[in-house]
Amino acid sequence: MKKLVFGIDIGGTNTAFGLVDEVGEIFGEAAISTRKYTHFDDYPRYIEDLATAMKALVNSLDINFELVGIGVGAPNANYYKGTVEIPSNMWKYTDEQIAAGMKEEDRMFNFADDLGKHFPGTPIYITNDANAATIGEMVYGGAKGMKNFIMITLGTGVGSGFVANGEMIYGHDGFAGEFGHVVVERGGRQCGCGRKGCLEAYTSAGGIKRTAFELLATMTDPSPIREYSFDQLESAMLSKFALEGDPIAKECFRLTGQKLGYALADAVTITSPEAIFLFGGLAKAGNLIFDPIKHYMEENMLITFKNKVKVLPSELQNKNAAILGAAALVWQAK
Amino acid sequence: MKKLVFGIDIGGTNTAFGLVDEVGEIFGEAAISTRKYTHFDDYPRYIEDLATAMKALVNSLDINFELVGIGVGAPNANYYKGTVEIPSNMWKYTDEQIAAGMKEEDRMFNFADDLGKHFPGTPIYITNDANAATIGEMVYGGAKGMKNFIMITLGTGVGSGFVANGEMIYGHDGFAGEFGHVVVERGGRQCGCGRKGCLEAYTSAGGIKRTAFELLATMTDPSPIREYSFDQLESAMLSKFALEGDPIAKECFRLTGQKLGYALADAVTITSPEAIFLFGGLAKAGNLIFDPIKHYMEENMLITFKNKVKVLPSELQNKNAAILGAAALVWQAK
């Protein structure tokens, strides 16, 4: 009988899921809202509704199959414990709960156990979104057959997954791979994590926009960017402007690639990967971002590693990467 | 029958070796000179003489044992290929050979194969000195039972070994773990690797000495350090001066610990270790160096990892760590 797994991608807005086979074909997809379940007390109903929607998808399919596992990608998920811990935009305490003494740092959800009650006997694996993307690349994408590689996800945040000896590095506590929070500029830009100078503050979608506004101050060239407020400008516009020749937009990509290139040269000294994959909005900018990354990475590379490490776009870029990544978690664990 | 392995530590001056059992007891040690075999053409004779000395040690022992493997720690050793590649102080080309067109970058020695001819059927494992120390810590030292940890060796150079999922990270090419060459000060001090600002240029034995001389310029305090020339001052003197209250020596340790602490906070975001072990001369300075390392590491730690990661002295510090580490390579591979 055909074997399928559920891949579930829990985002702040929606929870999307699909049934996926071993070669990455998706046999049906659906989604429920995540945002609708804002509060801590909504969480049990969220689990109920998710399980119901998943079973509805199963029943809607025309094929016979065996469900061999469920893989989940979620923010702040802990692979070892099966938990989602203090997710910033989901299942939050109300003001009353906080006033009654409930503490943010205790907000933890036994996601794997709770969903598991609806699928008895089916193994559930959970990890954060960037790790899921990494395993997706390893099982279905360009990292197939690679034992040592790095995945960098460039989106609203900067995430990463490090694979060594053919295994995902989860680390002692299950939270390894926070490459967006290596400090690349001591005392630099304020980061969402509360510290200063993290890679994420420079190379996320918001980071490159911050660079654009910094350059509006330091450069004098006329630029279409000058017509937008900070709130109006979207980071995707910068590729368009750069391709049209705007010097400020071009400089944005050079500086962003420089920060990433420097940081990647340091990461290479630690894990010596065969390749580095880039995924997410910024990675879609093609040569605009790949060229400066490669240039500054090689310029700063320890001689041992020079001209050895490939920098490649994710091969899941235009596919349903989040669902595939979550599904891959199951196949990888088998 | 008792099972023993050879642990061989190839240093620039001497090659020391010993027969070691599974719990780290050494059943006899000896050494030959490395320095005597300066030239490329001396290498075959070096292998002959080493094998002869090893066999002499075997014959000198009173016990019956089975030799189950040979582990080797050597500079620039490649674990996958069994080679020693372009070692800087050993088996060098003569000026005549260079004039005749022999190229430094081709200088590679098939160490495992060449020594193996003298011990047919005995498996030989080889890795660089810092990786050997790391495996020594895992098999015989404080990292016993740990699946995720980092070892930092602070000596003439700064080396490292990263362990994740219970396995040494050798990386794609066998050269992973060059943490001494992450850049901690962009455009900073000249490093022996030809680049600028590497951790090694600040936190090796030579690095802390360079900091002392920088401080002789920036501070005005009287200090016993002012009585020494750069060539005279040994880094070990700085601990003594700091313990006696010398403000410049104390500031040396604070700054060195700061550089290490910052760099370690970044490393933690990548591999999320249970513990970080420090080994080597500088690690012997105790609280003088551990206190600032811990302080600056925690101050710069991403909240996810705060107050979770232990910083510990190597438990092999005062033992024959290099031989034990090389021997551990065999037990670890079994």
Give this complex's ipTM. 0.91
Chain B contacts of A199, Cβ < 8 Å?
none
CB distance A302–B181 less than 8 Å? Answer: yes
Question: What's the pTM value of the predicted model, to 2 decimals?
Answer: 0.92
Q: In which residue are the tokens 């003298």 written?
A: B118
Q: How many C-beta atoms lie closer than 10 Å to residue A190's C-beta? A: 12
Q: In which residue are the tokens 């000026």 written?
A: B95
- Mean pLDDT, residues A121-138: 94
Question: Taking CA atoms, what residue in B is nearest to A268?
Answer: B176
Chain B contacts of A169, Cβ < 8 Å?
148, 164-165, 270-272
Is B154 exposed, middle or buried, given 0-12, 13-18 or 19+ CB atoms closer than 10 A?
buried
- Mean pLDDT, residues A39-56: 96
Residue of A174, A182, A269 lying closest to B269 (CB–CB): A182
| Helix (H) or strand (E) segment spanning residue B65 | strand B65-73
Contact, B267 vs A269, CB < 8 A?
no
- The answer regarding whether domain B147-313 maps to CATH 3.90.1150.200 reads no
**Lowest mean per-residue pLDDT among A2-6, A104-108, A252-256:** A104-108
- Hey, where are the domains in chain A? 2-136+321-333, 146-313
C-alpha–C-alpha distance, residues A149 and A309, integer Å = 9
- The answer regarding whether domain A146-313 maps to CATH 3.20.20.70 reads no
B183 at A interface, C-beta within 8 A: yes
Distance from CA of A222 to the nearest CA of B (A): 31
Q: A239 by DSSP, 3-state: which?
A: helix
The answer, yes or no, to whether residue A100 has pLDDT greater than 80, is yes
The per-residue pLDDT string of chain B (334 residues; one tens digit each, 9 = 90 and over) reads 899 999 999 988 899 999 999 999 999 999 999 999 999 999 999 999 999 999 999 999 988 999 999 999 998 899 999 999 988 778 999 999 999 999 888 899 999 999 999 999 999 999 998 999 999 999 999 999 999 999 999 998 999 999 999 999 999 999 999 999 999 999 999 999 999 999 999 999 999 999 999 999 999 999 999 999 999 999 999 999 999 999 999 999 999 999 999 999 999 999 999 999 999 989 999 999 999 999 999 999 999 899 999 999 999 987 788 899 999 999 988 7
CB distance B271–A267 less than 8 Å? Answer: no
CB distance A272–B304 less than 8 Å? Answer: no
Chain B contacts of A162, Cβ < 8 Å?
164, 270-271
Instruction: Give, in order, the Cα–Cα distances in Å from A334 to each of A18, A139, A328, B195.
Output: 19, 12, 10, 44
B273 at A interface, C-beta within 8 A: yes
CB distance B181–A269 less than 8 Å? Answer: yes
Chain A contacts of B162, Cβ < 8 Å?
164, 270-271
Contact, A234 vs A283, CB < 8 A?
no
Q: What is the DSSP letter of B6?
A: E
On the question of a common fold for B2-136+321-333 and B147-313, the answer reads yes
A178 at B interface, C-beta within 8 A: yes
- Mean pLDDT, residues A116-142: 95
CB distance A303–B274 less than 8 Å? Answer: no
Q: A190 by DSSP, 3-state: which?
A: strand
Tens of pLDDT, residues A133-150 = 999 999 999 999 999 999
Chain A contacts of B179, Cβ < 8 Å?
269-270
Question: Taking CA atoms, what residue in B is nearest to A178?
Answer: B269
Which 277-316 residues of chain B touch chain A by CB within 8 A? Answer: 300, 302-305, 308-309
Best to test chain B binding among A167, A170, A178, A269 (most B CBs inside 10 Å): A269
Q: How many C-beta atoms lie closer than 10 Å to residue B83's C-beta? A: 20
- CATH number for region B2-136+321-333: 3.30.420.40
